[in-house]
Structure 1
Amino acid sequence: MSEPGPSLSLSPWGEADELWRRLAGDWSFERTIEGQASMHGTATFCSMPGAAHDTLHYREEGRLRLLDGRAFDAHREYLYQRRPNGFAVLFAERPPRLFHEIALQTGDADGTAWTGTAAHQCAADLYDSHYRFLTDGGFTLRHIVRGPRKDYVSLTRFSAA
């Protein structure tokens, strides 16, 4: 008799509501920006003093390397807010502005425990975002960006630090 395939119950992400708690902490990441650049660095999801317990501050820092070999230090910040069966991502501005909302769905047999998609219109450019929370404990974020000013795919792979 063959062994059973991966089960969502065995996933380190647990149930959808547990996923939120497991995001908190430090991550390392590798990013490719199709035809433009690559980046590696660290990201942290942490509770914000004075904010609701359902808000995590996200900050990434790393080294961005352009195809021509030039390299720069770079960082980015967002706010993640817990939602029933998912989360919202906001730009870390005053006041915060919505980037997108993710409703989590169970994954499939390819090693994905949870997935979520969203779209964001930025002027004439459209960002299609796809999150995959993997049974190995990591997750990926893919942005497909199309429009008159932007045309690229960004893929980031996060691993526990």
Structure 2
Amino acid sequence: MLKITDFEGTWQISRVITDRLAGQTGQLDGVATFTRTDGNTLAYVEEGTLQLADGPKLQATRPYRWHFGDDVVAMTFADGSAFHSFVPEGYVEGTEHDCGDDTYAVRYDFIPWPRWRAVWVVSGPRKDYTSVTEFTR
């Protein structure tokens, strides 16, 4: 099982977003930085350049908190509200997150460590997209 020290530091990220509702694809390239804030918590901040279809390139940033327990990571939004949790090993599903009528479902692939991937499938009346993020050192 991966530990907090395995994630600390800076990762290159490359994300492909396939938006079925809008009929377009987007790309985000940047970095994700994990910084320890206490004994079992990492502050996660991703920063990058996002381009949706042929639109302009935009600067994007998103913060989260990763709280490491004995065998699970509980991920929260920066304000501390719950997002989802997962076991940091192998090829594993995280818990789903409901946002209004839309549902966020994630699967992590840690098998090719130190490369890893997060695949989000978001569905509902307002959203229908898949987001695949590759993390590399």
The question of a shared fold, defined as TM-score above 0.5 by the shorter chain, is answered with yes
| 1:138 matched to 2:115 | yes
Describe the SS at the equivalent of 1:21.
Answer: helix
Partner deviation per Cα, 1:118-143 (whole Å, 9 max, x = no partner): 21111100000111113341110111
Structure 1, unpaired ranges of 5+: 1-15, 108-113
Quote the offset at 1:19 in angstroms: 3.0
- 1:23-34 aligned within 5 A: 23-34=7-18
Question: Quick one: which of 61, 68, 75 aligns to 1:89?
Answer: 75
- 1:65-104 aligned within 5 A: 65-93=51-79, 96-104=80-88
The match for 1:5 is none
TM-score by length of 2: 0.89
The match for 2:44 is 58
The match for 1:44 is 33
Partner deviation per Cα, 1:12-56 (whole Å, 9 max, x = no partner): xxxx1x4321001110010000033110001100012xxx31010
AA matched with 2:103: L
Describe the SS at the equivalent of 2:4.
Answer: helix
State the number of aligned residues: 132
| 1:158 matched to 2:112 | no
Contact kept? 2:117, 2:135, Cα under 8 Å: yes
Runs of 4+ with >3 A deviation: none
Describe the SS at the equivalent of 2:6.
Answer: helix
